[in-house]
Amino acid sequence: MTKKKTIFSQEVIVAIVLVALYLIFRTISSDFGKYTTFLSMMDISYYYVLMAIGVAFPLITGGVDLSIGTGMICYALAGGFLIRNYNVPTGLAILVSILFGAAIGLCNGVLISILGLPPFLATLCNCMITRGLGSVVTGSFAVPWPTAKQDNGWFHSIFKITTANKTKIPLGLVWIILLMLLMQFILAHTRFGRYTIAIGSNKEAAMLSGINVRFYHVMVYVVSGLFAGLASIAYAAVIKTVQPGTGAGMELDAIGGAIVGGVSASGGYGTIYGTVIGAYVIIFLKQGLPYIGFNANMQQIITGLVLIGAVCIDIIKRKVIK
């Protein structure tokens, strides 16, 4: 009864789609092939991918985290506000942003796991709260983070460095890949990961097996919040000035990425490398479609259709196996 490993797992299909998209866009638009386009696409990708990696965990438990988009903006506002108004060192501000994310994640986790709110509802509330909170803290003013040229703007070089001969290198991609490997390892080979899958597959069984389901269920949302916090730094490094009240809808692109990458919408299955590849498919569509003459509206429609396709593959696959 060994399971047949099909070569056409969703992750492989999506990886092929990703490469195909890149080649198609390149062929049709010469601008798309330029290195600067690639650089700006990478800049934008980091925060989406980080959110996607984080939200993959709640998704695998059969839940969702809708608070990551507005949350990310809120954390970026908080960090930037500390630097600008209180001259807090950048490193400390970054730490605050990340921990703020983890704290909101903890709040989600407690609402869902301990108080029993549906994940959709709990995280929707925190989506609204973080959206408002960012504005309240900053008095509704936009907050700039230090630019790369300023002394305390060193954090830009986490994501992009310029070599001596003025070539820019998207260093962030290296961190993304390392984080992807780390989180995939955690998902596949640690108790936290195993229990994340168990909760999504059969929560009752996990509980009766003597697992502290409540604790792990909370932690799943802490991870999601933590990655939204990390995303806020990537966001601050790309978007010069963080505007309060924005961010809504970004979580959907991240969630969509994870789903496209094979994370089961009903929980119990998913991989982090699939999530990252899926997130890049969404980003390629977002960034690439305008180059070949589709406007933003068309691009939304196409992204939606791709999502439907991905979910259908998941459903059909499960039926065929049965």
Q: Which residues contact another protein (rule: CB under 8 A)? A: 1-3, 185, 189-191, 194, 197-198, 200-202, 204-206, 208-211, 268-269, 321
- Bridge partners (DSSP) of residue 241 are 144
- Least Å distance between CB 214 and another protein? 12
Nearest in space to 17 (alpha carbons), one of 280, 291, 302, 259? 280
Cα–Cα distance between 145 and 149 in angstroms, integer?
Answer: 11
29 or 201, CB closer to another protein?
201
For residue 317, give Cα distances in angstroms to 10, 102, 321, 322: 9, 35, 6, 9
Contacts of 43 (CB under 8 A, 6+ apart): 159, 160, 170, 172, 237, 238
Contacts of 214 (CB under 8 A, 6+ apart): 113, 114
Cα–Cα distance between 105 and 110 in angstroms, integer?
Answer: 9
DSSP 173-185: HHHHHHHHHHHHH
92 or 205, CB closer to another protein?
205
191 or 240, CB closer to another protein?
191
109 or 267, CB closer to another protein?
267
For residue 191, give Cα distances in angstroms to 206, 211, 226, 249, 264: 12, 10, 19, 32, 20
- Least Å distance between CB 66 and another protein? 24
- Least Å distance between CB 3 and another protein? 6
173 or 265, CB closer to another protein?
265
Q: Which helix (H) or strand (E) holds 35?
A: helix 35-60
Residue with tokens 């990703």: 18
- Least Å distance between CB 306 and another protein? 25
115 or 321, CB closer to another protein?
321
- Least Å distance between CB 207 and another protein? 8
- Least Å distance between CB 81 and another protein? 36
